[in-house]
């Protein structure tokens, strides 16, 4: 059973569509019910929009504890803001995240040498910093779809699993024990994105 | 290395069927949005845009059906534009499976609609479409397919929409639309240089070189085209390879 955590932010339908497409036989639900999330074998934690709003909505639904608890135990996939929320602090609204990873979420800044657009939107290459079960059948340098204005900075090297270049290299995938989190959107990254989700579904921690 | 430039085919939808963009390939069911979307996805389209041209708002449900069918099977970003009037429209489109919605006339009638919707749904979901036409020595925003002037300066409007929270801008030159003479790259460049958000160039593509020019001269982050892909003149993969050969970063 797979739980996709719903806290009223963003479009979770596409994540659910992709999961159902890959694994039609595995029950999956978009849910804000802590009991259901607790029972699920695997948890997907998506997110879109602004981090302060996300935290507010999570707390409004009393979901903070269950997210943190899930991230401790079961296969856990953070997507986009679901990656950013795992860090200690964010520049966006100057809020605290869950502190599961050391590091800070920072905003992309205009560059002198190379003009970059903010948000970072579109397909960009992901260099794999290390092997991971979720990279199975995906080669380093493959393109994934991104849309974000903030990124994880000062990430401990041991957790950096993928990097991307947008006016400089930044960490776009992290992993630790049962957690994998991506700044890009696998559910919008066509065949290779589906491959990553498929790898998550068959991931045995 | 940096983020790839995007190619976005645009499909017109009427009463639940794709009505433009159906001649480009041997399709079993030429108007079937899923089949068309799948074909474009296989050719390497970076995103898909559906423009709803349904005249009667009673038939809106058919559009949601289309989006739902496509989103269940094709996993690239989907933008839907046409007749988006309020937050309920946006909510319904996103719930059907759209990732972004295009707002045009409603933004002109009420600019706060853009700030309201981007704070509610996230700016990544809000594309503001601007139809511009050259008037004397400047560009002006037009509505109703270029028939109605608004008196609004297009460059200033673009800046304002970015400040109001648009995630990207879709800029169509009404002078070039349908002419196959290339994008209005002066217009594109002026806007791209004014805002930090990505811009999508639209209107006037007739050759692959026009796509290259849109990126190199117009400084567009993405190029939107309809007829050159719909009628099979070029495949998306051909276009991407051509752009790549001309030094543009593409997802191949």
Query: How distant is the Cα of B116 from the closest Cα of chain A, in angstroms?
Result: 13
Higher-confidence position of B199 and A14: B199
What is the average pLDDT across A73-94?
Answer: 95
Share of chain B above pLDDT 70, in %: 93
| Residue of B4, B121, B124 lying closest to A123 (CB–CB) | B4
Residue A47 has pLDDT above 90, yes or no: no
Map out the domains of chain B with their CATH numbers: 6-245 (3.20.20.70)
Residue A64 has pLDDT above 80, yes or no: yes
pLDDT category at B226 given cuts 50, 70, 90 is confident
- Answer CATH for A2-201 from 3.40.50.880, 3.40.50.2300, 3.30.428.10, 3.10.580.10: 3.40.50.880
Contact B5, B251 (CB under 8 A): no
Instruction: Give the per-residue pLDDT at B28.
Output: 57
Least confident stretch, A110-119, A186-195, B77-86, B179-188: A110-119
Q: Which of A9, A14, A81 to mutate to test the interface with B (most CBs of B within 10 A)?
A: A14
ipTM of predicted assembly, 2 dp: 0.93
Instruction: Give the per-residue pLDDT at B113.
Output: 97
Residue B121 has pLDDT above 90, yes or no: no
> pLDDT of A121-175, one tens digit each?
999 999 999 999 999 999 999 999 999 999 999 999 999 999 999 999 999 999 9
Residues on chain A touching B76 (C-beta within 8 angstroms): 145, 188-190
Distance CA B161, CA B108 (A): 10
> pLDDT of B142-188, one tens digit each?
998 788 999 999 999 999 999 999 999 999 999 999 899 999 999 99
Distance CA B200, CA B222 (A): 5
Instruction: Give the per-residue pLDDT at B232.
Output: 78
Residue B107 has pLDDT above 90, yes or no: yes
Residue B26 has pLDDT above 80, yes or no: no
> pLDDT of A90-113, one tens digit each?
999 899 999 999 999 999 998 888
- Output B20-27 pairs: Cβ under 8 A, ≥24 positions apart: B20/B226, B20/B227, B20/B230, B21/B226, B21/B229, B21/B230, B22/B230, B23/B230, B23/B231, B23/B232, B24/B229, B24/B230, B24/B231, B24/B232, B25/B232
What is the average pLDDT across B1-24?
Answer: 80
> Are B122 and A119 a contacting pair at CB < 8 A?
no
| Residue of A18, A123, A165 lying closest to B251 (CB–CB) | A123
DSSP assignment letter at B5? P
Instruction: Give the per-residue pLDDT at A124.
Output: 98
- Between strands A120-128 and A142-148, the pairing is antiparallel
| Residue of B76, B124, B197 lying closest to A48 (CB–CB) | B124
Q: Which of A11, A22, A192 to mutate to test the interface with B (most CBs of B within 10 A)?
A: A11
Contact B160, B135 (CB under 8 A): no
Which residues 6+ apart lie within 8 Å of B229 measured at CB? B9, B21, B24, B40, B235, B236, B239
List residues of chain A with CB under 8 Å from any CB of chain B: 9-11, 13-14, 17-18, 20-21, 48-50, 110, 114, 116-125, 143, 145-148, 165-167, 187-191, 193-194
């Amino acid at each position: 059973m797979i739980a996709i955590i719903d806290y009223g932010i963003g479009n979770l339908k596409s994540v659910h569509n992709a999961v159902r497409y890959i694994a039609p036989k595995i029950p999956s639900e978009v849910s804000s019910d802590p009991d259901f999330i607790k029972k699920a074998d695997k948890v997907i934690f998506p997110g879109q929009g602004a981090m302060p709003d996300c935290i507010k909505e999570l707390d409004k639904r009393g979901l903070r504890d269950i997210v943190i608890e899930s991230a401790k135990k079961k296969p856990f996939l953070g997507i986009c803001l679901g990656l950013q929320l795992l860090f200690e602090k964010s520049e966006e609204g100057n809020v605290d995240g869950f502190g599961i990873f050391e590091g800070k979420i920072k905003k992309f800044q205009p560059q002198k040498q190379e003009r970059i657009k903010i948000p970072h939107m579109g397909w960009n290459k992901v260099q794999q910093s290390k092997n991971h079960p979720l990279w199975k059948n995906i080669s380093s340098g493959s393109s994934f779809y991104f849309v974000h204005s903030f990124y994880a900075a000062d990430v401990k090297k041991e957790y950096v699993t993928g990097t991307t270049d947008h006016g400089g290299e930044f960490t776009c995938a992290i992993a630790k024990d049962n957690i994998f989190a991506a700044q890009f959107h696998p559910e919008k990254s066509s065949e290779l994105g589906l491959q990553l989700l498929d790898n998550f579904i068959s991931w045995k921690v | 290395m940096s983020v790839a430039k995007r190619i976005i085919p645009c499909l017109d939808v009427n009463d639940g069927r794709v009505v433009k963009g159906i001649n480009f390939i041997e399709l079993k069911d030429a108007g079937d949005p899923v089949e068309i979307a799948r074909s474009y996805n296989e050719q390497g389209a970076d995103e898909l845009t559906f423009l709803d041209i349904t005249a009667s708002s009673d038939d809106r449900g058919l559009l949601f059906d289309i989006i739902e069918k496509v989103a269940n099977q094709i996993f690239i970003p989907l933008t839907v534009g046409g007749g988006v009037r309020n937050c309920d429209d946006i909510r319904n489109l996103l719930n059907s499976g759209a990732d972004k919605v295009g707002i045009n006339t409603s933004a002109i009638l009420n600019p706060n609609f853009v700030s309201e919707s981007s704070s509610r749904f996230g700016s990544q979901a809000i594309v503001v479409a601007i139809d511009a036409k050259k008037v004397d020595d400047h560009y002006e925003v037009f509505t109703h397919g270029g028939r109605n002037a608004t008196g609004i300066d297009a460059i200033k409007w673009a800046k304002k929409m970015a400040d109001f929270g648009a995630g990207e801008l879709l800029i169509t030159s009404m002078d070039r639309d349908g002419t196959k003479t290339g994008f209005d790259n002066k217009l594109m460049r002026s806007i791209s240089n004014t805002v930090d958000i990505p811009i999508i160039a639209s209107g006037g593509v007739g050759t692959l070189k026009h796509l290259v020019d849109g990126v190199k001269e117009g400084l567009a982050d993405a190029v939107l085209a309809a007829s050159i892909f719909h009628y099979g003149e070029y495949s998306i993969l051909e276009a991407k390879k051509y752009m790549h050969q001309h030094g543009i970063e593409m997802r191949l």
